[in-house]
Amino acid sequence: MPVSAVPDTLTLTRPDDWHLHVRDGAALASVLPYTARQFGRAIVMPNLRPPVKTTGQALAYRERILAARPEAGQPGADFEPLMTLYLTDLTPPEEIRRAKEAGIVALKLYPAGATTNSDAGVTDIRKTYTTLEAMQREGLLLLVHGEVTDPAIDVFDREAVFIDQVMQPLRRDFPELKVVFEHITTRDAAQYVASAGAHTAATVTAHHLLYNRNAIFQGGLRPHYYCLPVLKREVHRQALLEAIASGSDRFFLGTDSAPHAAVMKEASVCGAGCFTAPSALELYAEAFESIGALDKLDAFAGHHGPAFYGLPRNTGTVTLKREPWTLPESMPFADEASIKPLRGGETLAWRQCNVV
Ligand code: NCD
Ligand code: ZN
């Protein structure tokens, strides 16, 4: 490629993060500004302890998020959280109308026990069918953590088995429901989403685009690379890269930035989650550049998500420059704790320089 074809500046439609964990309380205050300075909006995951199960809880959580935004006049002060509810076996169908009227956009399906704070999740999708009918009717989206939890199924196969056992019947029974297969990690999921029709989409994280499962074991056990769904083989990473390079509007940005204090990650039982919010766009730019697809980043980050959710695009822009910088190894987190971002202490090639 001629040198002139490789840009040194990328100006993007102000993007959105369609899958984000920001926690609550002091932790929320520590992490939210990183997202607000890059993204116009974010889909906020409801897996707090206890989970956000009702419209009232979601609206109260929304207020706490708004209060944690940067001050008026600072970049990110206008950040907008998009709220979700945690779907359980017992979510009443009447909750869906209330949620819709309150501006809640989606419900999150966690198979019970699949990941961090998912004990209250769904034990059998059929138990939620009357609620899913209400969602289909009201136009709320279903966001799925696409892994089965059967201990007999190998952890690396759980996403593929989920497609057969849950996604296919779900699509057959609710053809009009908009479903987002969150944080896909396998070729199976990428192919499934590409062939599943206009009402099925997927979010893709930066870490699943940049790393395969070797990263977890590089020179010793690396807890900061442990997330769920767990990183997969290289063949799967390549399939995710092909999906984003295709430019298909059914794949869009969702960081799944999942903050845990460093002491929780560097423990004998390590919590699942990669904290990527401090350099999310930079990591995506690196992934797209690695396959010569930087021209596809703008639509992936700022156009496909709003189109699928039926929302307008953001109006501003963000600019990234090719400028090597070192991401801090550790950052303050909640009450005197610290947090280690993915790639902390390492040099990144791209750097966000402004939000307009
Ligand atoms: C998430 C978290 O920590 O809340 N962890 C993760 O590894 N992604 C939960 C989730 O989205 O699975
Ligand atoms: Zn998540």
Q: Is the peptide bond before 229 cis (omega within 30 degrees of 0)?
A: yes
Tokens 């560097």 identify what position? 266
Structural domain contains residue 4: no
Paired residues of 355 in beta bridges: 318
- Residues with CB under 6 Å of ligand 1 are 21, 47, 115-116, 145, 227-228, 256, 258, 272-273
Q: How far is the CA of 2 from the centre of ligand 1 (A)?
A: 41
Helix axes 55-67, 94-101, angle to 10 degrees: 30
Which ligand number lies closest to the CA of residue 258?
1
The pLDDT, as a whole number, for residue 336 is 82
Task: State the CATH number of the domain containing residue 137.
Answer: 3.20.20.140
Structural domain contains residue 258: yes
Paired residues of 326 in beta bridges: 347
Give nearest CA residue, ligand 1 atom 9: 116
Q: Going residue by residue through the chain (356 aa), what tens digit of pLDDT does each one get?
A: 454 568 899 999 999 999 999 999 999 999 999 999 999 999 999 999 999 999 999 999 999 999 999 999 999 999 999 999 999 999 999 999 999 999 999 999 999 988 777 878 999 999 999 999 999 999 999 999 999 999 999 999 999 999 999 999 999 999 999 999 999 999 999 999 999 999 999 999 999 999 999 999 999 999 999 999 999 999 999 999 999 999 999 999 999 999 999 999 999 999 999 999 999 999 999 999 999 999 999 999 999 999 999 999 999 999 999 999 999 999 999 988 899 999 999 999 999 997 66
Closest CA to 256 of 223, 208, 304: 208
Give nearest CA residue, ligand 1 atom 5: 273
Task: Please count the CA atoms within 13 angstroms of the CA of 156 that sit on its side-chain side.
Answer: 9
Structural domain contains residue 2: no
Q: Rounded CA gap, 69 and 325, in Å?
A: 25
User: Based on the structure, what is the number of domains in the chain?
Assistant: 1
Give the CA diameter of the chain. Answer: 59
Q: What residues are annotated to the active site?
A: 256
For the CA atoms of 95, 96, 102, 107, what is the dihedral angle to 10 degrees? 110
The pLDDT, as a whole number, for residue 113 is 85
CB 59 within 8 A of CB 102: yes
The pLDDT, as a whole number, for residue 356 is 60
Q: Rounded CA gap, 160 and 326, in Å?
A: 37
Which ligand number lies closest to the CA of residue 227?
1
Structural domain contains residue 286: yes
Structural domain contains residue 99: yes
Q: How far is the CA of 256 from the centre of ligand 1 (A)?
A: 7
Give nearest CA residue, ligand 1 atom 6: 273
The pLDDT, as a whole number, for residue 114 is 80
Which ligand number lies closest to the CA of residue 272?
1
Q: Rounded CA gap, 163 and 177, in Å?
A: 16
Structural domain contains residue 175: yes
The pLDDT, as a whole number, for residue 1 is 47
Look up the domain containing 129 and give its range: 9-355
The pLDDT, as a whole number, for residue 276 is 98
CB atoms within 10 A of CB 196: 18
Q: How far is the CA of 264 from the centre of ligand 1 (A)?
A: 13
Structural domain contains residue 1: no
The answer for residues whose C-beta is within 8 angstroms of residue 129's C-beta and 6 or more apart is: 173
Structural domain contains residue 296: yes
Q: Which long-range contacts (CB under 8 A, 24 or more apart) does 159-168 make?
A: 159/184, 159/185, 159/186, 159/188, 159/189, 159/229, 160/186, 160/188, 160/189, 162/111, 163/188, 163/189, 163/192, 166/111, 166/125, 167/192, 167/196
